[in-house]
Structures are given as structure tokens and as C-alpha cells.
Structure 1
Amino acid sequence: MNTLKSKELKVGAMVLVAFSLLYVGLRFLKGINFFSSSNTYYAVYTHVDGLIPSNPVLVNGLNVGMVTDIEILQDQGNQLKVEMLIDRKVKLGPKTVAELASNGLLGSKIIKLNVETNISEPLESGAKILSQEEKPFTAVVADQAAPIVDKLEKLLTDFQGSGAEAKNMMHSLAQTSASVDSLVLANQYRIALMLSNISQTSAQLTTTLVALDPTLKNVEKITADVASTDLSETVDHLNNNLLALQDILGQVNNGEGNMGKLLKDEALYENINHTVQSMDSLLMDLKEHPKRYVHFSMFGKKDKAEKEKK
């Protein structure tokens, strides 16, 4: 009998130990370390958006604890009380804020502790922490998209306002294109004739340039010859000729030489002028009375005597 009771006690003890190990193991898998010292704090939220126990609690990205329990407070407007187990080494002050945030793109929730510096009076275990909830993803998207939506609305408004002008412009452009087409069709023969004339002119210009090529070569040769000529000698010779001409003009101006006397001697001018007038009178008289100066007769002096009698 005693042996039977002893076996039952052993079996009961083993079952108790097994359940204890299972409980500790499950809590350990959830992140609760029974062998480390921790403090318990809580914060109150209106929404937790998928936050569950065992979700991590972070300080500047470092895991310092975990969520242990979430309780609904129906007597406080169905707010949610979230309990957190925080490493005792992390001191929290009265201004510490527990911010509910998203962990990456998958949407899992975490709690970020915004811990102030220079904490003079740390909170005791079991104290309440200030809470802050992040904006829903839809609200964030709406805030980011609001400026874009405003710009799109303004763009659409401007486009609607300028739609009539664009339509009128397109209509005018179509009319202009039709007018140009009709003008081209009406003057198609003239355009073809003009293009033909341009082609002929181009051909003639090409022929002319070919014909001018020897002339251009001669000009180039003359230019080269002029460039190779000793210009200083030519200029000196020209200066000497100009000096000689200037000397001759000086003599003429001074009345020296035949040309100078002709230009400066008034008596010579009067004599020449009187002689020219006399010759002019003589020529006029000769033209009017040629018989006074010219006598011609086949019968000699008899003819002359008869004419004198008459």
C-alpha cells in the first residue's frame, strides 16, 4: 500500500514539474525571461490596431521588453490597457511616452518608448506611461496625397479653362491648313515652273562659275605678281613723277613757258582772240561771196570783162 502511494506521489510530482517546465518554456518562447529582473508598466489606448501580447517594446530600436497583456476597460469608454514588461535597467521618467507604431511594411505593431534624458525621479514598477497612437496608414496616405490632389484639381481646372482656347486654336489651325492646301493646288503650275526656273538658273550658274574659273586664276596670278613686285620702288618713281608735274604746274602758274604765257599773258590772249574773230569773219565772207576770192572761166579774161559790164 505504501509502495502504491509512493508511486502516485512520484507520478504527480513529475506531472507538476512537466507542466511547470511547459509553462516556463511557453513564456520563454514569448520572450519572458523569468531569470531576469523586470518592471511592469502600462499605458492606455483607444485603439491598438492588431497589437497582441509578446509584441516587442523598443527604445531607439533596441528590444527592452514586451507586451504581456491587453485588457479592455469598459467602464472607461472601452479603452485598452496594455501592460508591458520592461527591463529594470531601463529607467522611465514621468515624460516617457509609449508610442504605438507599425513594424515595417507587414503591419505588425510594436511599442516605441520615447524616454527623456536626465531622469531625476524614475517611475516605479506598475506606474502608468503616457501613450501616443500613430496615424492609420490611410490617414498617412491621405496626408501625403492631399498636396498632390490639390495640384491635380488646380491642373484640371486650368485645363478646363483653357480647353475652349485649345479647341479654337485647333479649329483655326485646321482652317489654315485647308487654306494652304487650296493655295498650293491653285498655284501648282506656277510652283512647278518656279522650281524649273530655279533648276535652270542653278545649271547656268554652274556653267558660269566653270567659265569664270580661268579668269579667277588669271586674277590670282596678277595678284601674285603684284604682291611680288617691289612696291617701294614703284612708289618712289610715282613720287618723283608727281614732283615733276608739280614743278611744271608751278611754272605754268607763274607764266613761264608757252603754256604759262598762253594762260597768263592777256595781250597774247587778245591777239589770239582777235585773230580767231578775223578768221571767223573771213570764213563767213568767203561762204557768202565765194566769187570774190575764187575766179574760174573756160574763156579767160573775156568772161571776166563781160561779168564786170553786167
Structure 2
Amino acid sequence: MNGLKVGQVDDIDFIDTPEKRGQLVVKFSMDNDIEFSKSSIVKIYSPNPLSGSNLAIIPSYDGEHAVSGDYLKGEIESSLFTSIGEKLDPIQTKMENVIVSADTLFQRINNVLDKKTSESIKRSVKGLELTIIYIRKTLGSVNTMLDSSSVSFKETLENTKLITGNLTKITDTLANSNIGDIMRKAEMTLTSVNSLLDGIDKGKGSIGKFVNDDAMYTNLTNVSKELEELLREMKLNPKRFVHFSLFGKRAKSYNAENNKNNQTNK
């Protein structure tokens, strides 16, 4: 009690009463000059991990004093190994569950990775390796092509710059030119042409009369026809129009029927 040895353990046995069956009762004796109440607690503890268990009295001085033959309440203080064991027990349970789950998982993996599947995986890995080699060769070819085409790219860019410069000059020229005046003049010209065509359509002026006067067309047609007949007569009977007779021979008169049939006058 309070670190001082005041007695010793005499006996340890099971309790006889049925309601407390399985529990232990510890009988101990101690010096008669130590006083404490019946509400004191007797605790089992281990001073160090290598020694046996001891009894420690946690004294209480309230109430009736304890005498020989009384029963005190007992407790067990957790030792280092006991506390470690209590903490390791749930961890051990979890570890066992994890190991069982891992074993089941490995069995399933072994079932999946049979000989046929392993060979298929090996072929896939080999095919992936060949694909990577082809990709490297392709990238090398692309780099070579880009290096050989870099000069052409530069020339193309220079030509593009020249084209854009020329386009800029053209746009500047168009912007500085008086497009508005040009459009107004063109509009005035078109207006004049429309007025002229409108006048011709209405029969104004010589051209309008020529285009729209049916009588003039008829007269011109008749004149053309008569002129055609005159030329045909001159071809068939030239002597009628040109006569060089010394004796003054009289010219033959015009014969419309013979002219129509392309015959000479006899």
C-alpha cells in the first residue's frame, strides 16, 4: 500500500457461488496495525515486465473499517504486454482478414494468368515494343523531311510577305483613288444612254423614226427591190442604157416580163 509491503498472498481459488462461477478470489493476510475501509480497492499489477503479479491496496477511509474475513473489490491493472496484446488483437484480426483476401485475390490472378493468357501478354508487350520502334523511325523521317523543307518554307514565307506587301500597295492605291467620282460619272453615262435608248424607242430623232416608222421601212424595201430589178436589167440589156450607134439606132424599151425571167430583149 502506497509502495510499502504490508502483507502477502496466501491463496488463489475459484468462487463457489453460482452467480460468480468462473471468477477468482484471492486470499491475503497483512499487518494488524493497517486500517482502511471496506470501500478500498485491491488491484492486481505487475511492477515490471519480467516479474510476477502483485497486489496493491488503493485505500479508502470513508465508511466502515475492514476487518479479517471481509471481501474487497478487485481490479486488474493492464501491464505493458497486456496493453500491447489488447492493441495487437484487433490488428491481428484485420491482418488475418487481409491475408485471406490477398490469398483469394492471388488465386483469382493465377486462374486468370494461365499459360495461354501469359503468352498473349508476352505477344502484346512484344508488339508494343515493335510499335514504339516504328514510331521512333517515323519521327526520325519527319524530322529529316522538316529539315530538308525548311529552306522552302522560308522562301514561301518571304514570297507571302511580298504578296501581302503588294496587296497593301494596291489597297492603298484604291483607297487614294477617287472611286466616288468614277462611279458618279459612270452613273451619268448610263443615264444618258438610257435617255437615248428611251428616245429611240419613242421615235424621237432620225434613228428613232427609222426604227419605229413602218412606212419608211416599206419605202426602203420597195426602193431596194426596184434597185435590184434595175441592176438585173442593166446586166441583161446593157445596150438599152449605153448606145453608141452612128446611125442613131433607137434603144429597146424595158420589158418587165423578160427582166423577171432573166431574158434579153430581142
Task: Give TM-score scaled by structure 2 length.
Answer: 0.47
Higher relative contact order (CA 8 A, sep 6+): 1
User: If you compute each CA radius of gyration, which structure gives the higher value, 1 or 2?
Assistant: 2
More strand by share: 1
